[in-house]
Amino acid sequence: MTTLLEAPALLEATALLEATDLVRSHREGETVTTVLDGVSLTVNRGEFVAVMGPSGSGKSTLLHCVSGVDQPTSGTVRLAGVDLDGLDDDGRTRLRGERLGFVFQDPHLLEALTVLDNILLPSALQADGGGDQLRTRALELMEVTGLAGLAERGVNEISGGQKQRASLCRALLGHPDLLFGDEPTAALNSAASAEVVELLQHFNAEGMTMVVVTHDARVAARATRVLFLADGRVVDEHRLDHGTDAAAREQQVRLAMAALGV
Ligand SMILES: Nc1ncnc2c1ncn2[C@@H]1O[C@H](COP(=O)(O)OP(=O)(O)OP(=O)(O)O)[C@@H](O)[C@H]1O
Ligand SMILES: [Mg+2]
């Protein structure tokens, strides 16, 4: 008898991101540098995948290739049912704007705008606007992320942690299918970092699928799965048991990091 788990159509339906055999190389004169060397990655709906590895191992490049920011030299990326290879630059830009959210080390907020307008800006720039509904959603997100009452503040009147939480609101405003993070806590002090980590786990528990690059075991401990890259290849992978407490999972991540010399 075929169980539900074995039914290929259902498995396919839950795979939000499928990257196969990604190679990304750069040519400078006669020299070719291979940054991704055959990476395959499947992310199912609801997963929180942390990507770790030494500096230069290709983590950001992987994120860029699977999110349509960069194009792999070879290999395929299927994202939310769409083949990235079949899209031109405009198509990839639209897919990123409509289906994906991004948080980076730097929150990239515009100083000339209020906190609320920064959160609204990318969606407001998209063709269909959405006015009041977007504003309501932005204010709800600000409430959840502890930014209530700061809507009309200038960017220079809030802390680094608050800025990063505002960038998280901006990323989530359009109900993306997938949230990508590239070291979102790297520039924060440990208290502000802990708040962002809690929020990532909160939004994942609410169903947001995430792929987050991090050097921080405390961030990775909140993931459902941790991938380790070295020299452009996946060299290790751990599923984290959320039946255990966060400290035990953090220990599991630290042991894996130590074993790989990360
Ligand atoms: N345009 C480029 N031309 C040549 N080499 C590049 C280019 N972009 C990136 N690289 C190289 O690719 C490698 C991987 O870079 P990447 O930014 O993906 O690493 P990373 O794992 O994110 O590192 P970090 O932890 O420092 O952010 C690095 O050695 C980098 O120098
Ligand atoms: Mg990087």
Q: Does domain 4-260 have CATH number 3.40.50.300?
A: yes
Residues 6+ apart with CB under 8 A from 81: none
What confidence score (pLDDT) does residue 81 get?
87
Residue ranges of the domains in the chain? 4-260
Residues 6+ apart with CB under 8 A from 194: 218
Q: What distance in angstroms lies between residue 65's CA and the mean position of ligand 2's atoms?
A: 13
pLDDT in tens, 229-262: 999 999 999 999 888 898 999 999 999 999 998 8
Tell me, letter by letter, the H, E, C secondary structure of 98-160.
Answer: HHEEEEECCCCCCCCCEHHHHHHHHHHHCCCCCHHHHHHHHHHHHHHCCCCCCCCCEHHHCCH
Mean of pLDDT values over 41-47: 97
Percent of the chain at pLDDT > 90 equals 85
**Does ligand 1 come within 6 angstroms of the Cβ of 214?**
no
pLDDT in tens, 104-117: 999 999 999 999 99
CA–CA gap between residue 201 and residue 256 (Å, rounded)? 21
Instruction: Measure the CA angle with vertex 41, ends 38 and 96; round to 5°.
Output: 105
- Contact between 168 and 145 under an 8 Å Cβ cutoff? The reply is yes
In the block, residue with structure tokens 């290879």: 85
Checking if the pLDDT of 4 tops 80, the result is no
Q: Which of 2-6, 91-95, 253-257 has the lowest mean pLDDT?
A: 2-6
Checking if the pLDDT of 10 tops 90, the result is no
- Contact between 18 and 24 under an 8 Å Cβ cutoff? The reply is no
What confidence score (pLDDT) does residue 130 get?
64
R_g of the chain computed on alpha carbons: 19
What confidence score (pLDDT) does residue 12 get?
46
Mutate to test the pocket of ligand 1, among 32, 34, 36, 59 (most ligand atoms within 8 A of CB): 59
CA–CA gap between residue 183 and residue 179 (Å, rounded)? 13
* Strand, helix or coil for residue 197: helix
CA–CA gap between residue 170 and residue 165 (Å, rounded)? 9
* Strand, helix or coil for residue 3: coil
Instruction: Measure the CA angle with vertex 172, ends 51 and 97; round to 5°.
Output: 85
What confidence score (pLDDT) does residue 8 get?
47
pLDDT in tens, 125-175: 775 656 788 999 999 999 999 999 999 999 999 999 999 999 999 999 999
Q: What distance in angstroms lies between residue 52's CA and the mean position of ligand 1's atoms?
A: 14
**Does ligand 1 come within 6 angstroms of the Cβ of 32?**
no
Residues 6+ apart with CB under 8 A from 241: 249
Checking if the pLDDT of 208 tops 70, the result is yes
CA–CA gap between residue 144 and residue 73 (Å, rounded)? 40
Q: What pTM value is reported for the model? A: 0.92
The total of other beta-carbon atoms located within 10 Å of residue 121's CB is 14
What confidence score (pLDDT) does residue 127 get?
54
Element (H, E) at 166: helix 160-172
**Does ligand 1 come within 6 angstroms of the Cβ of 224?**
no
Q: What distance in angstroms lies between residue 157's CA and the mean position of ligand 1's atoms?
A: 34
